[in-house]
Chain A
């Protein structure tokens, strides 16, 4: 299933262009760089800082049906781990494919890793055993 990464800041599209062309780290960028100078969309997602007009470091995962499936917000000084973002993304796709009968525990990384199937009353207090079993 396809996905699109959209980066968003309160800079304009003109600033995005200038930054992408001048910063060598961004030379091979493929994703869309979106401009939210009024902060309208940033406010909707709760990442807009009214004091300085800048966005906090927030990541949001939206399903093909337009549902919010995941979110993560960090204060200014912490960079995000792209591996964790991809893990959550793959897990969401996997779980959707399985129709809601399987859940991905914290150590799940990719298809084939241990999942929990039909977590219910019989698993209460027995998660350890369920994670050990095949």
Chain B
């Protein structure tokens, strides 16, 4: 299985705004992630993609 995985994003460039629905273990509730909010609150973001729940990460 060969993958052609190239991201259109370039290092040093602005990432287009995006939102994701989240589960927040610290609150035991659902929430929302938004890049715009991160920029507004001047926080770094580490995005950590993985294949699937119930597997090793």
Interface residues of A (CB under 8 A from B): 1-11, 13-20, 23, 26, 29-36, 40-42, 44-47, 49, 51, 54-71, 73, 75-76, 79-80, 85, 89, 92-93
| A32 in contact with B16 (CB, 8 Å) | no
| B31 in contact with A56 (CB, 8 Å) | no
List the 4 closest pairs (A to B, CB-CB), nearest first.
A46-B7, A3-B44, A34-B20, A16-B23
Q: How far is the CB of A108 from chain B (nearest CB, A)?
A: 18
| A46 in contact with B8 (CB, 8 Å) | yes
| A32 in contact with B22 (CB, 8 Å) | yes
| A9 in contact with B53 (CB, 8 Å) | yes
Interface of A, secondary structure class, is mixed
Q: Which residues of B contact A40 (CB under 8 A)?
A: 18
- Contacting A46 at CB < 8 Å: which of B1, B9, B13, B25? B9
Q: Which residues of B contact A23 (CB under 8 A)?
A: 54
B24-38 interface bits toward A, Cβ cutoff 8 Å, 1 = contact, 0 = none: 111000110101001
- Contacting A45 at CB < 8 Å: which of B21, B44, B49? B49
- Contacting A70 at CB < 8 Å: which of B8, B11, B14? B11
